[in-house]
Amino acid sequence: MTFDEIYAIAKSFVDHGVTKIRLTGGEPLIRKDAHIILEKLASLPVELAITTNAVNVERYIDTLKACNVKTINVSLDSLNAEKFKDITRRNYFEKVYNNILLLIAEGFKVKINAVLIKGFNDNEIVDFINLTKTLSVTVRFIEFMPFDGNRWDIKKMVSLKTILDITTKQFSKEKLVRLEDAQNDTSKNYRIEGYKGSFAIISSVTNPFCDSCNRLRLTANGHLKNCLFSSKESDLLTTLRQGESIDPVIKKAIRLKAKMRGGMDTLEKLKTPDLHSNNRSMITIGG
């Protein structure tokens, strides 16, 4: 999509009541016109946010502030430099960590997104939570979800219950404070008593929030996904380029949204590769 097409599609959603837009990926700041996209979306009456790997975010501090971006999610799956390099194939851990500190210092609300995988980074749960002792950040643990190419296996998933068991064993139940979740929040939020920041758990596999979910995903190539678990997509970009209204396509996609996890309403169905293996990888979904 060009930045004008992104704006046109976004405006259609805003005209129908969308009040928040988040740029995510992949990595949204890798686009050469990222600053133009931010500026155009900032002209709409919405809360604008972004998810980034934070490798080059320092270049956009002034633009993000000018566009009134207040919340920045940083994808960071490990606090171990070697693991980080193994995941990203880049030796940027120190730069990313320093940029997180920079974002905090510049007054942004920072959330760190960590996808937990058993046997890889589940031994870092306590380390991540300890970040919140002195830093005003929210660490968000995300249950491993099935996408094409990520070798998903339910045995690799670290559940909400497991995360809480590890947390209470380390910090005690008395020090674990349950925070009030925002309306339509995807996460369950907590704080360790006396800690500056907080942590949250996005349990879309074991404890789904589908009944209150109001999220839609516009992919980088202009397709609408009504649920991240679903492999079905609706092509908005072709309709737009043909000069036709995209509203009927959007309404149909929303009406067809499954009640739970793209139709995989039991854990047994999630164990069936045929039901989720065609859901393209997150890096190609973009949005």
87-96 pLDDT, tens digit per residue, is: 898 999 999 9
Tell me, what amino acid is at 41? L
Buried b (16+ CB within 10 A) or exposed e, 142-165: bbbbbbbebebeeeebbbbebbbe
* pLDDT of amino acid 280: 65
197 in Cβ contact with 209 (< 8 Å): no
* pLDDT of amino acid 123: 97
Q: Could you say which residues of the chain have pLDDT below 50?
A: none
Whole-model pTM: value is 0.91
* pLDDT of amino acid 228: 82
188-192/198-202 β-pairing? antiparallel
Angle at the Cα of 59 from the Cα atoms of 58 and 62, rounded to 5 degrees: 90
Please choose, from the candidates 235, 218, 216, the residue with its C-alpha nearest in 3D space to the C-alpha of residue 7.
218
CA–CA gap between residue 7 and residue 246 (Å, rounded): 13
CA–CA gap between residue 240 and residue 178 (Å, rounded): 45
Site of tokens 């693991």: 83
For the chain, the domains span: 3-211, 216-287
Site of tokens 């306590």: 126
What is the C-alpha end-to-end distance of the chain, expressed in Å? 10
* pLDDT of amino acid 117: 92
* pLDDT of amino acid 148: 57
Site of tokens 């670290």: 158
* pLDDT of amino acid 239: 97
* pLDDT of amino acid 257: 87
CA-CA-CA-CA torsion sign (207, 210, 216, 219): positive
What is the CATH topology of the domain spanning 3-211? TIM Barrel (3.20.20)
Residue 223: how many other CB atoms lie within 10 Å: 20
CA–CA gap between residue 190 and residue 84 (Å, rounded): 25
Strand (E) or helix (H) holding 3: helix 3-15
